[in-house]
Amino acid sequence: MSTSKVTYLGNLRTENEHLKSGNKFITDAPTDNNGKGEAFSPTDTVATGLANCMITVMGIKARDMQVNMDGTTAMVTKTMAADPRRISKVEVILDFPAGIDDKSRKILENTGRTCPVLFSLHPDIEKVIVFNWG
């Protein structure tokens, strides 16, 4: 069964539908690649997907440990390179709420560093992950 359906809407924009839920989002080409930059670019979604994955697997582990990480945020910075045009670096800075003990922090950091998206990114992509604990 397919995961998603991507429809080209013209003007360098796509509509992306998650088939199981029906949720949709759009992407636009970035301004540095002939686009309007009015939405996530395809490479933005890859970089942001890393933070989504890390927070999700840490959230599962936190729930299992009865640790509250509600309100955790991640700031994502994507750097592009040329020849060929590609993602060269992804930086994820995670900010957690106060009150998470040292043992839980270590477990959650290890969990975040083993998320499937991190393992799926090309080894040539530099990954900078920073954990800031409230």
Tell me the pTM. Answer: 0.95
First to last CA, the chain: 41
Query: Which CATH number is 42-133's, of 1.20.1050.10, 3.30.300.20, 3.30.70.100, 3.60.150.10?
Result: 3.30.300.20
91 SS3 class: strand
User: Which residues have a Cβ under 8 Å from the Cβ of 71 and sit 6 or more positions away?
Assistant: 97
For the chain, give every domain's residue range.
4-33, 42-133
Provide the β-strand partners of residue 5. 17
Residue-wise pLDDT tens digits, 74-128: 999 999 999 999 999 999 999 999 999 999 999 999 999 999 999 999 999 999 9
Q: How far is CA 5 from CA 16, 42, 98, 99, in A?
A: 6, 14, 40, 41
